[in-house]
Amino acid sequence: MTTEIRQRDVVIVGAGMAGLVAGVRATELGADVCVLEKGTRPGGSMYLSAGLIWSYETIDDARENVPRGDPELQRTIVEGLDPAFDWLESLGVTVREPPVELPTGETVVAPTPGANCGKIEPEAFTDRLRTRIEDGGGEVLVETPMRSLRTDGNTVVGVDATTADGEDLEIEADAVVLATGGFQGNERLLQEYVTPAIENLWLRANPWSTGDGLTAARDVGAKTTGGMETFYGHNLAAPPANVTPDRYLELTQYYGPFAVAIDERGERFTDESESDLEHTLAQDTAHEADGRAYYVFDSDLYDDEVFSMGHIGTIVERSADRGAEVIRADSLEAFEEKLYAAGVDGTNAVETLDEYNEAVRTGCGDRLDPPRTDYQRPVDTPPFYAVAVQPGITFTMGGLHVDEGGRVLDERRSPSTLFVDEGHDESVESEPITGLYAAGVDIGNVNNRHYMGGLANALVMGRRAVESAVDDRVE
C-alpha cells in the first residue's frame, strides 16, 4: 500500500449539488481545488431529484413555514437564491423555465404555492459543473471517499481519503468544505437519531451519504444542531412494492396531506395536512406509526389532482403496477373486511372515518385528536381505497452547526448552559473550527421538521462556504 500526498488550496468532500457548486466557485476565485466523490458518479441525490431549486420568496414566508430552523441561515438562503440563479445562468445553465415537466410526465410550476423556483436538468447540470471545475484547473475524483479530517492542533489542514485503487491519499489543504449530503444512508446513525424502526424506512436518496461529514467533523470537535431526529422525505408505496432509485419519483405518493392516514390499529396518528409537501406526515409515519400506514381516500380524491404533482389515481395505479398493496372496496362493509385481511383493525378504521367525516363536514377538523387543520373533505364516495405506505428518507435535517458563511462551529468554543466551566462558558461567542466549512445537507437546522427546499441550500451555501474559505485564507 502506498500513500499519495497532494497539496491543494481547498478540498471539497462530496460532488453532489453543494460540492459541484463549491468546486466551480473555488476555481472562479482562483483556488486550486480538489473535489472528492465517494460514489461511482458525481451528482449525489441531486442527480436523482426532480431538479426544482426552490425556497420561499421572503424570509417572513420562510419563518412562517419553517419556524424551528435557524433564522440567519434561512435568510442567507432566501436572499441568496436570486443571485445564485443569476450565477448559474452566467455558467450557461438555464434555470428559469417553469412550468416544467417532471420525469413522471407531470407538469409543475413550483412545488408549493409562493415559492421562488427554478428548474435544472440534473444530468446535464452535473456534467456542466464537472466540466467547469476541470476546465478551471480543478479535479473531481470519483470513488475517492474521504475517511477523516487531518488536523494540526485545533485547525483542519486537509483530509485522508482512499483512491479508487484502494490506495491512501493524503491531501493537505488550507480549507475543507464538507458536502457529503447527510446521514440517511447510515442505519446505525438513523437508529441512534431518527427512529428505531429502520426496517420500515426506504432510502429515497443516493446510497453514499452515510454521515461521513458529520462523523469526521464531530471527531474534530464540531458542534451539531438540534432537530437530529427530523428528516425530509415522502411516503412511498410500502413493500412488496419494489422501490429502486429510478422509481423514487414515480412511487412517491405526494397526496398524503389530502387523504386520511391510519396506522395498523385503524387510527389516525397525526394531522396529515400539516405540510403540503407530505414531509411532516412522512416523519410522523416513522415516529408515530412505526413506519407502517395506509392512506385512505374515496373516489372523489382518486379522481382529483395534487398541487403540482398530478392526478392521484395515476399515482395509485402506477404504484399498484409496481407491486404496491392497494385495497379497493365498493362499500364500507367490504372495506372493513379487506382491511382486516391486510392486518389493519378494520372496525376501528371505519369508526375513524365516521368520526373524521362528521368533523370535516362541519368544518371542525381542527377539533379532532389529532386535528385535521387543512384540506377538510369527507371520505364518503365509494369506491374506497387504502394504499399501504412506508416513509422514504431523502435527507436528514439535523447536522453541523455553522455560521452564515458555512463555517463549522467548535463545540468547545460555543456557548452552553449545560457545562459552565472553562471550555463551556455560556457567555462566550461561538467560534468556528479554523479551516472547516460545510454546505448543503451536512448543515443542520436550515430545515427542522418543516422544509424550505434542499437544492436551494446546497446552491447558496455551496457558494458561500467556499467564498468564506477563500476570504479566511487571505485574511
Ligand X SMILES: Cc1cc2nc3c(=O)[nH]c(=O)nc-3n(C[C@H](O)[C@H](O)[C@H](O)COP(=O)(O)OP(=O)(O)OC[C@H]3O[C@@H](n4cnc5c(N)ncnc54)[C@H](O)[C@@H]3O)c2cc1C
Footprint of ligand X (CB under 6 A)? 13-19, 36-39, 44-46, 48-53, 145-146, 179-181, 204-206, 208-209, 212, 248-249, 394-395, 440-441, 453-456, 458
Dihedral pair phi/psi, residue 190, rounded to 5°? -60, -45
Closer residue to ligand X (CB): 344 or 456? 456
Closer residue to ligand X (CB): 279 or 377? 279
Q: Which helix (H) or strand (E) holds 175?
A: strand 168-178
Quote the least distance from Cβ 50 to ligand X, whole Å.
3
Give every CB contact of residue 450 below 8 A, 6+ residues apart in sequence: 65, 66, 67, 68, 69, 275, 279, 280
Between CA 205 and CA 10 the distance in angstroms is 27
Quote the least distance from Cβ 432 to ligand X, whole Å.
19
The Cβ-side half-sphere exposure at 76, using a 13 Å CA radius, reads 22
Between CA 125 and CA 47 the distance in angstroms is 9
Evaluate whether 449 touches 280 at the Cβ level (below 8 Å). Answer: yes
Between CA 210 and CA 190 the distance in angstroms is 10
Quote the least distance from Cβ 147 to ligand X, whole Å.
7
Closer residue to ligand X (CB): 24 or 205? 205
63: exposed, middle or buried (C-beta count within 10 Å: 0-12, 13-18, 19+)? middle
Closer residue to ligand X (CB): 44 or 432? 44
Evaluate whether 194 touches 286 at the Cβ level (below 8 Å). Answer: yes
Q: Is 80 helix (H, G, I), strand (E, B) or coil?
A: helix
Measured from the Cβ of residue 363, the count of other Cβ atoms closer than 10 Å reads 9
Quote the least distance from Cβ 366 to ligand X, whole Å.
30
**Residue with nearest beta carbon to ligand X:** 16
Closer residue to ligand X (CB): 225 or 376? 225
Give every CB contact of residue 228 below 8 A, 6+ residues apart in sequence: 193, 194, 396, 398, 399, 444
The Cβ-side half-sphere exposure at 432, using a 13 Å CA radius, reads 20
Closer residue to ligand X (CB): 206 or 270? 206
Closer residue to ligand X (CB): 162 or 200? 162
Q: Is 121 helix (H, G, I), strand (E, B) or coil?
A: coil
Closer residue to ligand X (CB): 99 or 415? 99
Quote the least distance from Cβ 437 to ligand X, whole Å.
13
Quote the least distance from Cβ 110 to ligand X, whole Å.
10
Quote the least distance from Cβ 448 to ligand X, whole Å.
15
Quote the least distance from Cβ 268 to ligand X, whole Å.
27
